[in-house]
Structure 1
C-alpha cells in the first residue's frame, strides 16, 4: 500500500479493543470491525456498561443465506455514537459478494449525535459495493472479510462518506 507524506495508520494487536486503532485482519471470530471513514480510523467499540449495547450485532440465516452485520461505535469522551451496516444476499461460501442495496433505503452509516453533515448516509446506487468474504465457517460460527464503499445523502449534495480498508472478523449467530 502506498501512503502520502504524513499518512499514519496504526494496526492493533488482534486482541486490542482500542477504539482509535484499526484492528488486524483475523479469521478466528474475534468480533472485530474497523475501517477508515474519510481517512479516519473507525472501530466498532462501546465502553462497557451494564445493560449497554454491543459493538457488533447481526445474523446469518442458513436457509435464506441472508447476512447482516451492524457495527456500532460509541465513544463518550468524543461525543460519538455511529453505526455501519453490511448486508449480503445468497452468502454460501468464501468469495466476493455485491452488497444488498436498495435505492436510498439501505443505510450504510448512521450518525446519532450529529458529527457528520447528515445523520444518515446511504449506499450510492450508481456504484458497486462489494464485500470479500475470506472466511466462511458456519459450522464454527465464523465469518470474516474486507469491504469498501461510498455512501451519500441526497439532502447533503456533494457530501460523500468514503469507507476504505474495511475488515471484520465476527463470531456469527446462525439461525
Structure 2
C-alpha cells in the first residue's frame, strides 16, 4: 500500500515538474510588422538576427516607443526604442528634404538628435545597451546602406518605406551591426 502511494506521489511530482518547466516554444517572440502603406504606425527591423520593434515604456505620462517628426523644412525623423526592456535598444533615422518617394543613401552620422538637423543628409545611429557591456553607439557611414521611401502623402501625413544598413561602433569601427528587413509605415500627426 505504501509503495502504491509513493508511486502515485512520485508520478504526480514528475507531471508537475514537466508542466512547470520552461518551454521556449511558449514564449512569444517579437515579429516584424507587415510592410504596409496606410499610416499603420508600425516600425521594425532585424538587428544582427534579432527582431527589434518599438515598445512604449511604463509610467505617467507613458514614454512612447516611437516618435516621428516631419518638420516645416521637410526633415523627417523616426526615433524608435524598446522602452520596456532593460536593454532599451534605440534606432534613429533621419532624411533631410523629404518631399517624395525615392531611395536615399545614408551618410556619416555624428549621433546628433532632431534639434540640430545636423548633419543635413540622410543618416542613422543606433544605441544598444546590455548589462555586461553597458551602452554603445553605432553610426552610419558613407554609403553604408539606404532608406527607400515607398509612399509619401503630405496631405494625410503618411510616410512608409524600407531600410537596411551597417552601422559601426563610434569607438571601434571593427565592431559593426547589420540592420536588415527594416520597415516603417507612420502617420506623423497621430504619433
Matched residues in 1 for 2:29 and 2:187: separation? 19
Give the aligned length.
152
TM-score, length basis structure 1? 0.75
Matched residues in 2 for 1:118 and 1:55: separation? 18
TM-score, length basis structure 2? 0.70
Partner SS state of residue 74, structure 1: coil
Richer in helix (by share): 2
For structure 2, the residue ranges without an aligned partner over 5 or more in a row are 1-27, 113-123
Give the aligned partner of residue 177 of structure 2. Answer: 161
1:20 equivalent in alignment to 2:30: yes
Give the aligned partner of residue 105 of structure 2. Answer: 98
Give the aligned partner of residue 52 of structure 2. Answer: 42
Partner SS state of residue 54, structure 1: coil
Give the aligned partner of residue 187 of structure 2. Answer: 171
Task: Report runs of 4+ in structure 1 exceeding 6 Å deviation.
Answer: none
| Cα deviation digits, residues 54-110 of structure 1 (max 9, x gap) | 121121124x2211111111233xx221210111112111111223x3454456111
Alignment check: 8 A CA contact 2:57 2:64 kept: no
Matched residues in 1 for 2:160 and 2:38: separation? 8
Matched residues in 1 for 2:148 and 2:60: separation? 35
Cα drift, residue 117 of structure 1: 7.0
Matched residues in 2 for 1:21 and 1:115: separation? 26
For structure 1, the residue ranges without an aligned partner over 5 or more in a row are 1-17
1:152 equivalent in alignment to 2:159: no
Give the aligned partner of residue 137 of structure 2. Answer: 120
When the two chains are superposed, the root-mean-square deviation of aligned CA atoms in Å is 2.5
Alignment check: 8 A CA contact 1:26 1:144 kept: yes
The structure with the largest alpha-carbon Rg is 2
Structure 2 residue corresponding to 1:81, chosen from 88, 93, 106: 88
Give the aligned partner of residue 5 of structure 2. Answer: none
1:108 equivalent in alignment to 2:125: yes
